[in-house]
Structure 1
Protein backbone atom coordinates (compact mmCIF):
# COMPACT_ATOMS: atom_id res chain seq x y z
CA UNK A 1 0.00 0.00 0.00
CA UNK A 2 1.44 3.34 -0.99
CA UNK A 3 1.79 6.40 1.19
CA UNK A 4 -1.44 8.38 1.46
CA UNK A 5 -0.48 11.81 0.16
CA UNK A 6 -3.78 13.57 0.74
CA UNK A 7 -2.20 15.31 3.72
CA UNK A 8 0.99 16.24 1.88
CA UNK A 9 2.39 19.65 2.63
CA UNK A 10 5.68 21.42 2.13
CA UNK A 11 7.15 23.85 4.58
CA UNK A 12 8.22 26.76 2.38
CA UNK A 13 9.42 28.85 5.28
CA UNK A 14 13.07 28.55 6.21
CA UNK A 15 13.61 26.07 9.00
CA UNK A 16 16.50 27.10 11.25
CA UNK A 17 18.58 23.95 11.53
CA UNK A 18 21.26 25.51 13.71
CA UNK A 19 22.70 22.33 15.21
CA UNK A 20 26.47 22.51 15.58
CA UNK A 21 28.35 19.48 14.31
CA UNK A 22 32.04 18.91 14.82
CA UNK A 23 32.83 20.03 11.29
CA UNK A 24 30.08 22.32 10.06
CA UNK A 25 27.17 24.52 11.02
CA UNK A 26 23.86 23.87 9.28
CA UNK A 27 22.44 26.94 7.62
CA UNK A 28 18.69 27.68 7.61
CA UNK A 29 17.19 25.73 4.71
CA UNK A 30 13.84 24.72 3.30
CA UNK A 31 12.72 21.35 4.61
CA UNK A 32 9.87 19.41 3.04
CA UNK A 33 7.49 17.64 5.37
CA UNK A 34 4.76 15.07 4.77
CA UNK A 35 1.99 14.16 7.20
CA UNK A 36 0.54 10.67 7.35
CA UNK A 37 -2.57 10.02 9.44
CA UNK A 38 -2.88 6.48 10.85
CA UNK A 39 -5.71 6.85 13.30
CA UNK A 40 -7.37 3.42 13.38
CA UNK A 41 -6.06 0.42 15.33
CA UNK A 42 -4.62 -2.48 13.35
CA UNK A 43 -4.68 -5.76 15.25
CA UNK A 44 -2.97 -5.04 18.55
CA UNK A 45 -1.47 -1.75 17.37
CA UNK A 46 -3.36 1.29 18.72
CA UNK A 47 -1.86 3.90 16.35
CA UNK A 48 -2.70 7.53 17.08
CA UNK A 49 -4.88 10.54 16.28
CA UNK A 50 -1.63 12.46 15.86
CA UNK A 51 -0.05 12.41 12.38
CA UNK A 52 3.25 10.80 11.54
CA UNK A 53 5.59 13.56 10.35
CA UNK A 54 8.14 12.75 7.65
CA UNK A 55 10.86 15.34 7.03
CA UNK A 56 13.02 15.16 3.91
CA UNK A 57 16.57 16.40 3.18
CA UNK A 58 17.23 17.27 6.82
CA UNK A 59 20.99 16.66 6.62
CA UNK A 60 22.89 19.63 5.23
CA UNK A 61 24.85 18.95 2.01
CA UNK A 62 28.07 20.12 3.67
CA UNK A 63 27.77 17.70 6.60
CA UNK A 64 30.80 15.44 6.87
CA UNK A 65 29.33 12.82 9.22
CA UNK A 66 25.59 12.24 8.75
CA UNK A 67 25.03 10.40 12.02
CA UNK A 68 26.93 13.01 13.97
CA UNK A 69 24.92 15.76 12.30
CA UNK A 70 21.58 14.19 13.23
CA UNK A 71 22.68 13.46 16.78
CA UNK A 72 23.76 17.06 17.29
CA UNK A 73 20.53 18.30 15.73
CA UNK A 74 18.34 16.13 17.95
CA UNK A 75 20.36 16.97 21.06
CA UNK A 76 20.21 20.70 20.38
CA UNK A 77 16.46 20.48 19.92
CA UNK A 78 15.84 18.62 23.16
CA UNK A 79 15.63 15.02 21.91
CA UNK A 80 18.64 13.09 23.27
CA UNK A 81 19.70 10.36 20.81
CA UNK A 82 19.87 6.88 22.33
CA UNK A 83 20.95 4.51 19.57
CA UNK A 84 22.26 3.90 16.07
CA UNK A 85 20.65 0.89 14.41
CA UNK A 86 18.10 -0.11 11.80
CA UNK A 87 14.42 -0.88 12.43
CA UNK A 88 13.22 -4.19 13.82
CA UNK A 89 11.77 -6.52 11.12
CA UNK A 90 8.58 -7.08 13.12
CA UNK A 91 5.68 -4.79 13.94
CA UNK A 92 6.22 -2.95 17.20
CA UNK A 93 5.41 0.37 18.81
CA UNK A 94 6.06 2.42 21.93
CA UNK A 95 3.20 3.09 24.32
CA UNK A 96 5.08 5.57 26.52
CA UNK A 97 6.82 7.94 24.12
CA UNK A 98 7.01 9.40 20.63
CA UNK A 99 10.13 8.56 18.64
CA UNK A 100 12.37 10.40 16.18
CA UNK A 101 14.10 8.26 13.56
CA UNK A 102 16.78 9.87 11.38
CA UNK A 103 18.22 8.01 8.39
CA UNK A 104 21.97 8.61 8.14
CA UNK A 105 22.92 5.81 5.71
CA UNK A 106 21.26 3.68 3.06
CA UNK A 107 17.57 3.30 2.37
CA UNK A 108 14.73 1.03 3.45
CA UNK A 109 11.06 0.27 3.10
CA UNK A 110 9.14 0.59 6.35
CA UNK A 111 5.59 -0.40 7.16
CA UNK A 112 3.74 2.05 9.39
CA UNK A 113 0.55 1.36 11.31
CA UNK A 114 0.56 -2.43 11.58
CA UNK A 115 0.42 -5.46 9.34
CA UNK A 116 -2.12 -3.78 7.06
CA UNK A 117 -0.32 -0.44 7.17
CA UNK A 118 1.30 1.91 4.70
CA UNK A 119 4.66 0.98 3.19
CA UNK A 120 6.97 3.91 2.61
CA UNK A 121 10.55 4.28 1.47
CA UNK A 122 13.01 6.27 3.55
CA UNK A 123 16.37 7.55 2.36
CA UNK A 124 19.39 9.35 3.75
CA UNK A 125 18.33 12.66 5.26
CA UNK A 126 14.77 11.61 6.07
CA UNK A 127 13.52 11.97 9.64
CA UNK A 128 10.35 10.27 10.85
CA UNK A 129 8.56 11.62 13.91
CA UNK A 130 6.30 8.84 15.18
CA UNK A 131 3.62 9.50 17.78
CA UNK A 132 3.34 7.03 20.64
CA UNK A 133 1.34 3.99 19.60
CA UNK A 134 2.12 3.99 15.88
CA UNK A 135 3.30 0.60 14.66
CA UNK A 136 6.42 0.31 12.54
CA UNK A 137 8.66 -2.37 11.09
CA UNK A 138 11.37 -2.80 8.46
CA UNK A 139 10.13 -4.61 5.36
CA UNK A 140 13.40 -4.45 3.43
CA UNK A 141 16.62 -2.46 3.44
CA UNK A 142 19.95 -2.21 1.71
CA UNK A 143 23.05 -3.35 3.56
CA UNK A 144 24.02 0.20 4.55
CA UNK A 145 20.74 1.23 6.15
CA UNK A 146 21.16 2.84 9.56
CA UNK A 147 19.23 5.31 11.68
CA UNK A 148 19.66 7.48 14.75
CA UNK A 149 16.88 7.04 17.30
CA UNK A 150 15.92 9.77 19.77
CA UNK A 151 13.26 10.44 22.38
CA UNK A 152 12.19 13.30 24.64
CA UNK A 153 14.35 13.80 27.76
CA UNK A 154 14.38 11.25 30.57
CA UNK A 155 12.47 8.63 28.57
CA UNK A 156 13.28 4.96 28.09
CA UNK A 157 11.07 3.61 25.33
CA UNK A 158 9.12 0.44 26.00
CA UNK A 159 8.82 -2.21 23.29
CA UNK A 160 5.28 -3.34 22.53
CA UNK A 161 4.40 -6.13 20.11
CA UNK A 162 1.24 -6.56 18.06
CA UNK A 163 -0.88 -8.22 20.76
CA UNK A 164 -4.66 -7.91 20.37
CA UNK A 165 -5.28 -8.99 23.96
CA UNK A 166 -3.39 -5.92 25.22
CA UNK A 167 -4.86 -3.38 22.79
CA UNK A 168 -7.25 -1.75 25.27
CA UNK A 169 -4.70 -1.18 28.01
CA UNK A 170 -2.06 0.05 25.59
CA UNK A 171 -4.52 2.43 23.91
CA UNK A 172 -5.14 4.00 27.33
CA UNK A 173 -1.38 4.25 27.95
CA UNK A 174 -0.80 5.96 24.60
CA UNK A 175 -3.54 8.51 25.35
CA UNK A 176 -1.69 9.54 28.53
CA UNK A 177 1.65 10.26 26.83
CA UNK A 178 2.38 14.01 27.05
CA UNK A 179 3.13 15.97 23.92
CA UNK A 180 6.82 16.86 23.54
CA UNK A 181 7.88 20.41 24.23
CA UNK A 182 9.87 20.80 21.00
CA UNK A 183 10.22 19.38 17.52
CA UNK A 184 13.42 17.30 17.03
CA UNK A 185 14.04 18.78 13.58
CA UNK A 186 13.02 22.43 13.91
CA UNK A 187 13.48 22.83 17.63
CA UNK A 188 10.35 24.97 17.78
CA UNK A 189 7.27 24.71 19.92
CA UNK A 190 5.38 25.82 16.80
CA UNK A 191 5.26 24.22 13.34
CA UNK A 192 4.77 20.48 13.52
CA UNK A 193 4.02 20.63 17.23
CA UNK A 194 1.00 22.71 16.37
CA UNK A 195 -0.23 19.85 14.17
CA UNK A 196 0.04 17.45 17.08
CA UNK A 197 -1.65 19.82 19.51
CA UNK A 198 -4.47 20.49 17.07
CA UNK A 199 -4.96 16.78 16.41
CA UNK A 200 -4.87 16.05 20.13
CA UNK A 201 -7.47 18.72 20.85
CA UNK A 202 -9.71 17.47 18.04
CA UNK A 203 -9.55 13.89 19.34
CA UNK A 204 -10.88 15.04 22.73
CA UNK A 205 -13.94 16.83 21.31
Structure 2
Protein backbone atom coordinates (compact mmCIF):
# COMPACT_ATOMS: atom_id res chain seq x y z
CA UNK A 1 0.00 0.00 0.00
CA UNK A 2 1.31 3.46 -0.90
CA UNK A 3 1.85 6.11 1.75
CA UNK A 4 -0.83 8.72 1.04
CA UNK A 5 0.63 11.25 3.47
CA UNK A 6 2.20 13.06 0.50
CA UNK A 7 0.02 11.86 -2.41
CA UNK A 8 -3.74 12.15 -1.93
CA UNK A 9 -4.69 10.99 -5.44
CA UNK A 10 -6.17 7.71 -4.15
CA UNK A 11 -8.63 9.52 -1.88
CA UNK A 12 -11.93 10.40 -3.54
CA UNK A 13 -13.54 13.65 -2.47
CA UNK A 14 -17.28 14.36 -2.81
CA UNK A 15 -19.07 17.59 -1.98
CA UNK A 16 -22.82 17.81 -1.36
CA UNK A 17 -25.11 20.83 -1.19
CA UNK A 18 -27.87 21.45 1.33
CA UNK A 19 -31.02 19.97 -0.21
CA UNK A 20 -33.41 21.67 2.21
CA UNK A 21 -33.83 18.50 4.29
CA UNK A 22 -30.31 17.15 4.74
CA UNK A 23 -27.91 20.06 5.28
CA UNK A 24 -24.64 18.30 4.45
CA UNK A 25 -21.51 20.26 5.36
CA UNK A 26 -21.17 23.73 3.81
CA UNK A 27 -17.36 23.50 3.42
CA UNK A 28 -15.96 20.03 4.02
CA UNK A 29 -16.10 17.17 1.50
CA UNK A 30 -16.78 13.51 2.15
CA UNK A 31 -13.53 11.54 1.81
CA UNK A 32 -13.48 7.97 0.48
CA UNK A 33 -10.41 5.79 1.00
CA UNK A 34 -10.91 2.76 -1.28
CA UNK A 35 -9.27 -0.48 -0.16
CA UNK A 36 -6.90 1.10 2.39
CA UNK A 37 -7.50 -1.66 4.94
CA UNK A 38 -8.14 -4.50 2.48
CA UNK A 39 -5.45 -6.77 4.00
CA UNK A 40 -6.70 -6.49 7.61
CA UNK A 41 -10.24 -5.04 7.64
CA UNK A 42 -11.17 -6.72 10.92
CA UNK A 43 -8.71 -4.44 12.74
CA UNK A 44 -10.64 -1.34 11.64
CA UNK A 45 -12.09 -0.45 15.03
CA UNK A 46 -8.77 -0.76 16.88
CA UNK A 47 -6.96 1.15 14.11
CA UNK A 48 -9.52 3.96 14.25
CA UNK A 49 -9.11 4.15 18.04
CA UNK A 50 -5.31 4.15 17.73
CA UNK A 51 -5.60 7.10 15.34
CA UNK A 52 -7.62 9.19 17.79
CA UNK A 53 -11.15 8.34 16.61
CA UNK A 54 -13.14 6.80 19.45
CA UNK A 55 -16.62 6.26 20.91
CA UNK A 56 -16.55 3.44 18.37
CA UNK A 57 -19.04 0.72 17.58
CA UNK A 58 -19.45 -2.23 15.20
CA UNK A 59 -22.82 -2.75 13.55
CA UNK A 60 -24.50 -1.60 10.33
CA UNK A 61 -25.92 1.60 8.83
CA UNK A 62 -29.52 2.75 9.24
CA UNK A 63 -31.83 2.22 6.26
CA UNK A 64 -33.18 5.79 6.43
CA UNK A 65 -31.59 9.16 5.74
CA UNK A 66 -29.86 10.55 8.80
CA UNK A 67 -26.89 12.69 9.78
CA UNK A 68 -24.95 13.84 12.81
CA UNK A 69 -24.89 17.60 13.30
CA UNK A 70 -22.50 17.66 16.24
CA UNK A 71 -19.73 15.28 15.10
CA UNK A 72 -17.84 14.03 12.06
CA UNK A 73 -18.10 10.26 11.53
CA UNK A 74 -15.85 7.63 9.98
CA UNK A 75 -17.23 4.32 8.70
CA UNK A 76 -14.84 1.44 7.94
CA UNK A 77 -16.16 -1.72 6.27
CA UNK A 78 -14.91 -4.77 8.15
CA UNK A 79 -16.68 -7.45 6.12
CA UNK A 80 -19.08 -7.78 3.21
CA UNK A 81 -20.37 -4.90 1.15
CA UNK A 82 -22.86 -2.06 1.43
CA UNK A 83 -24.43 0.36 -1.02
CA UNK A 84 -25.10 3.74 0.57
CA UNK A 85 -26.62 6.94 -0.66
CA UNK A 86 -24.66 9.89 0.67
CA UNK A 87 -25.83 13.49 0.67
CA UNK A 88 -29.60 13.03 0.92
CA UNK A 89 -32.33 11.78 -1.41
CA UNK A 90 -30.61 13.23 -4.51
CA UNK A 91 -27.10 12.40 -3.32
CA UNK A 92 -24.61 9.91 -4.69
CA UNK A 93 -24.86 6.12 -4.48
CA UNK A 94 -21.60 4.64 -3.24
CA UNK A 95 -20.53 0.99 -3.13
CA UNK A 96 -18.22 0.10 -0.24
CA UNK A 97 -16.59 -3.25 0.42
CA UNK A 98 -14.30 -4.78 2.99
CA UNK A 99 -11.30 -2.49 3.54
CA UNK A 100 -12.98 0.73 2.37
CA UNK A 101 -13.30 3.75 4.66
CA UNK A 102 -15.53 6.81 4.28
CA UNK A 103 -15.34 9.98 6.38
CA UNK A 104 -18.54 11.98 6.69
CA UNK A 105 -18.26 15.59 7.82
CA UNK A 106 -20.89 16.77 10.30
CA UNK A 107 -24.25 17.25 8.60
CA UNK A 108 -23.65 14.73 5.81
CA UNK A 109 -26.67 12.54 5.13
CA UNK A 110 -26.25 8.80 4.68
CA UNK A 111 -28.56 5.82 4.27
CA UNK A 112 -28.07 2.09 3.62
CA UNK A 113 -29.70 0.95 0.39
CA UNK A 114 -28.51 -2.67 0.48
CA UNK A 115 -25.87 -4.81 2.16
CA UNK A 116 -24.54 -8.35 2.06
CA UNK A 117 -25.59 -10.71 4.87
CA UNK A 118 -22.03 -10.61 6.30
CA UNK A 119 -21.81 -6.79 6.25
CA UNK A 120 -20.20 -5.25 9.33
CA UNK A 121 -18.92 -1.73 9.71
CA UNK A 122 -16.94 0.09 12.41
CA UNK A 123 -17.90 3.66 13.16
CA UNK A 124 -16.03 6.24 15.24
CA UNK A 125 -15.80 9.96 15.99
CA UNK A 126 -12.79 12.28 16.36
CA UNK A 127 -11.53 12.43 19.91
CA UNK A 128 -14.32 10.04 20.91
CA UNK A 129 -16.92 12.81 20.82
CA UNK A 130 -20.56 12.04 21.43
CA UNK A 131 -22.96 12.29 18.50
CA UNK A 132 -26.61 12.88 17.84
CA UNK A 133 -28.78 11.41 15.09
CA UNK A 134 -30.92 13.75 13.04
CA UNK A 135 -33.32 12.87 10.24
CA UNK A 136 -34.10 16.20 8.60
CA UNK A 137 -37.18 17.22 10.55
CA UNK A 138 -37.92 20.93 10.01
CA UNK A 139 -37.89 21.72 13.75
CA UNK A 140 -34.33 20.45 14.21
CA UNK A 141 -32.86 22.42 11.30
CA UNK A 142 -31.92 25.79 12.88
CA UNK A 143 -30.03 24.15 15.75
CA UNK A 144 -28.47 21.55 13.44
CA UNK A 145 -27.12 24.19 11.03
CA UNK A 146 -25.41 26.00 13.90
CA UNK A 147 -24.00 22.79 15.39
CA UNK A 148 -22.48 21.75 12.06
CA UNK A 149 -20.49 24.98 11.87
CA UNK A 150 -19.17 24.51 15.41
CA UNK A 151 -17.65 21.05 14.89
CA UNK A 152 -13.86 21.47 14.68
CA UNK A 153 -11.63 19.87 12.06
CA UNK A 154 -10.14 16.72 13.66
CA UNK A 155 -6.53 16.73 14.76
CA UNK A 156 -5.88 13.31 13.23
CA UNK A 157 -6.78 11.34 10.14
CA UNK A 158 -8.78 8.18 11.03
CA UNK A 159 -6.69 5.98 8.71
CA UNK A 160 -3.21 7.56 8.82
CA UNK A 161 -3.25 9.30 12.20
CA UNK A 162 -1.33 12.46 12.94
CA UNK A 163 -0.36 14.44 9.85
CA UNK A 164 -2.59 12.29 7.63
CA UNK A 165 -4.42 13.53 4.54
CA UNK A 166 -7.76 14.39 6.17
CA UNK A 167 -6.20 17.07 8.36
CA UNK A 168 -4.55 18.72 5.36
CA UNK A 169 -7.46 18.33 2.94
CA UNK A 170 -10.06 19.60 5.39
CA UNK A 171 -7.97 22.46 6.81
CA UNK A 172 -7.52 23.77 3.27
CA UNK A 173 -11.32 23.78 2.76
CA UNK A 174 -12.44 25.29 6.06
CA UNK A 175 -13.88 28.79 5.70
Partner secondary structure for residue 53 of structure 2? coil
Cα-to-partner distance string for 1:45-78 (whole Å, 9 max, x where unaligned) = 11012010000112252x3xx32x1122111111
Q: Which has the larger radius of gyration?
A: 1
Structure 1 residue ranges, 4+ long, deviating more than 6 angstroms after superposition: none
Query: 1:192: Cα distance to partner?
Result: 2.2
* Alpha carbons 2:53, 2:127 under 8 Å: kept: yes
Residue 46 of structure 1: aligned partner: 23
Quick check: 1:81–1:148 contact (8 Å CA) kept in 2? no
In the alignment, structure 1 residue 133 sits paired with structure 2 residue 107: yes
Does residue 14 of the first structure (1) align with residue 3 of the second (2)? yes
Relative to the length of structure 2, the TM-score reads 0.90
The answer to whether the 8 Å contact 1:74/1:81 transfers is no
Higher RCO structure, 1 or 2 (CA under 8 Å, sep 6+): 2
Match of 1:193 among 161, 167, 174: 167
The question of whether the paired residues in 2 share the 8 Å contact of 1:107 and 1:141 is answered with yes
Q: State the 1:15 CA deviation.
A: 4.1
Q: Structure 1, residues 80-112: CA drift from partner, whole Å, max 9, x if none?
A: 252111100000000110001000111111010
Which residue does the alignment assign to 2:90?
Answer: 116
TM-score normalised to the size of structure 1?
A: 0.77
Deviation at 1:190, TM superposition (A): 4.6
CA–CA distance in structure 2, aligned partners of residues 13 and 122 of structure 1: 20
Aligned length in residues: 172
Conserved 8 A contact 1:31-1:58: no
Q: 1:190 to 1:148 in 2, by over 3 A?
A: closer
CA RMSD of aligned residues (A): 2.0
Q: Is 2:10 the counterpart of 1:32?
A: yes
Q: 1:165 & 1:144 partners in 2: Cα distance?
A: 37
- The one of 46, 53, 56 equivalent to 1:79 is 53
| Aligned equivalent of 2:149, options 162, 172, 175 | 175
Q: Where in structure 2 are there 5+ consecutive unaligned residues?
A: none
